[in-house]
């Protein structure tokens, strides 16, 4: 699956007339000059700047968007719209934020609205789920488009027949991970931690609190809570390590079945150390540790036949 680096190389090639092999040669030369202290993606962006190539203000497909881009212009269909949320700023002022998932025929991306004029279009129903919209002068923050007061949001008369509504998962190495991405990585389990238990509402699946009369959900009141578990693992793909969180639903894929039996659980955790698997999930920032972690929602065994075929190709 094409990643950010491949997209940058392809765009440099189409804009400069140079072959992709020549661009990759320059990228490696730049990395060697900087003693490997820059990623391939970063080196490619430096090469683009040296060639006078600027991707700002271009009309792009969603799968061409790259972290850090400014003045982003795209057209797509809103396939999921979250409610407008009110919050209090550090200055004590009340403000609003809204986000939606925008899709075209190549991919989909989350769009975050901060400007009151844009949000008013949502509140008045002028733009809603299913609307075709055009975004101008947005900014890419990690993997999201953010629209501020200098951005533009309006309805579009264009149509896209087959928008990509399914989750888009990028196959990446850990050192390439960026917050907000949905990723797949083949890695080894190198460390595991004790399980942690918590309780959720059976209706909304949100975490609940324990009161004097039992468990209480903020939305559904007093409920019969479900006990859930999570285990933290550290995985390593040879480029870097990352702390990963695996919840109850995915633990059985790891062979963790004895959460209530300490002796068997210790053995099951030890059996996992050094095991190579494919982990699929979302990268997010852990505010407590202030670093990235992988929230795993699917785990697969490594398919050796498929891996051999890909290496041969």
Instruction: Render pLDDT for 34-55 as a digit per residue (tens, 0 to 9).
Output: 876 677 777 887 888 888 877 6
By three-state DSSP, how is residue 152 classified?
Answer: strand
pTM of the shown model: 0.62
Averaged over 197-215, what is the pLDDT?
A: 82
Confidence band, pLDDT 50/70/90 cuts, at residue 302: confident
Backbone angles phi, psi at 52, to 5 degrees: 75, 25
Task: For 108-138, give one letter per residue: b (16+ CB within 10 A) or e.
Answer: bbbbbbbbeebbebbeeeebeeebbbbbbbb
pLDDT at 203 over 90: no
Confidence band, pLDDT 50/70/90 cuts, at residue 176: confident
By three-state DSSP, how is residue 223 classified?
Answer: strand
Averaged over 196-222, what is the pLDDT?
A: 82
Q: Which domains does the chain have, with CATH numbers?
A: 1-54 (no CATH), 56-165 (2.40.50.140), 170-312 (2.40.50.140)
Whole-angstrom Cα distance, residue 16 to residue 56?
16
Q: Which residues pair with 181 in a beta bridge?
A: none
pLDDT at 174 over 90: yes
Backbone angles phi, psi at 46, to 5 degrees: -65, -45
Whole-angstrom Cα distance, residue 259 to residue 223?
24
Which of 93, 157, 85 is CA-nearest to residue 123? Answer: 85
pLDDT of residue 127: 95
Instruction: Render pLDDT for 56-80 as a digit per residue (tens, 0 to 9).
Output: 667 888 887 877 778 899 999 999 9
Instruction: Render pLDDT for 100-124 as a digit per residue (tens, 0 to 9).
Output: 999 999 889 999 999 999 999 999 9
Which of 118, 141, 168, 123 is CA-nearest to residue 282? Answer: 168
Give CA angle at 86 (199, 116), nearest 5°.
Answer: 145
Which of 286, 283, 305, 303 is CA-nearest to residue 294? Answer: 283
pLDDT of residue 56: 64
Instruction: Establish how many alpha carbons lie within 13 A of residue 311's alpha carbon, considering only the half-sphere containing its beta carbon.
Output: 6
Residue with the bigger pLDDT between 217 and 187: it is 187
- CB neighbours of residue 23 within 10 Å: 21
Maximum Cα interatomic distance, the chain, rounded to a whole number of Å: 71
pLDDT of residue 1: 42
The one-character DSSP state at 83 is P
pLDDT at 126 over 60: yes
Whole-angstrom Cα distance, residue 273 to residue 252?
16
Instruction: Render pLDDT for 227-278 as a digit per residue (tens, 0 to 9).
Output: 888 999 999 999 999 999 998 888 888 888 888 788 888 888 898 999 999 9
Confidence band, pLDDT 50/70/90 cuts, at residue 310: low
């Amino acid at each position: 699956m094409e990643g950010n680096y491949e997209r940058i190389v392809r765009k440099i090639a189409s804009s400069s007339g140079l072959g992709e092999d020549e661009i990759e040669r320059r990228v490696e030369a730049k990395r060697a000059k900087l003693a490997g202290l820059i990623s391939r993606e970063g080196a490619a962006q430096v090469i683009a700047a040296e060639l006078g190539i600027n991707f700002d203000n271009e009309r792009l497909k969603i799968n061409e968007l790259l972290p850090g881009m400014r003045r982003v212009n795209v057209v797509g269909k809103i396939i999921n719209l979250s409610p407008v949320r009110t919050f209090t700023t550090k200055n004590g002022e009340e403000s609003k934020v809204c986000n939606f998932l925008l899709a075209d025929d190549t991919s989909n991306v989350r769009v975050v609205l901060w400007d009151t004029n844009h949000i008013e279009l949502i509140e008045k129903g002028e733009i809603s789920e299913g609307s075709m919209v055009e975004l101008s002068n947005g900014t890419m923050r990690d993997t999201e488009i953010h629209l501020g007061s200098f951005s533009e949001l309006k309805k579009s008369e264009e149509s896209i027949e087959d928008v990509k509504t399914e989750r888009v998962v990028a196959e990446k190495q850990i050192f390439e991970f960026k917050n907000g991405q949905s990723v797949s990585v083949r890695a080894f389990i190198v460390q595991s931690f004790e399980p942690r238990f918590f309780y959720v509402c059976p209706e909304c699946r949100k975490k609940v609190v324990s009161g004097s009369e039992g468990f209480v959900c903020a939305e559904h009141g007093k409920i019969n809570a479900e006990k859930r578990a999570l285990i933290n693992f550290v995985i390593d793909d040879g480029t870097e390590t990352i702390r990963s969180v695996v919840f109850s639903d995915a633990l059985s894929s790891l062979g963790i079945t004895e959460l209530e039996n300490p002796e068997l659980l210790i053995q099951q955790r030890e059996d996992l150390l050094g095991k190579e698997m494919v982990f699929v999930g979302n990268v997010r920032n852990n505010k407590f540790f202030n670093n990235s972690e992988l929230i795993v929602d699917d785990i697969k065994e490594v398919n050796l036949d498929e891996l051999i075929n890909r290496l041969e190709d």
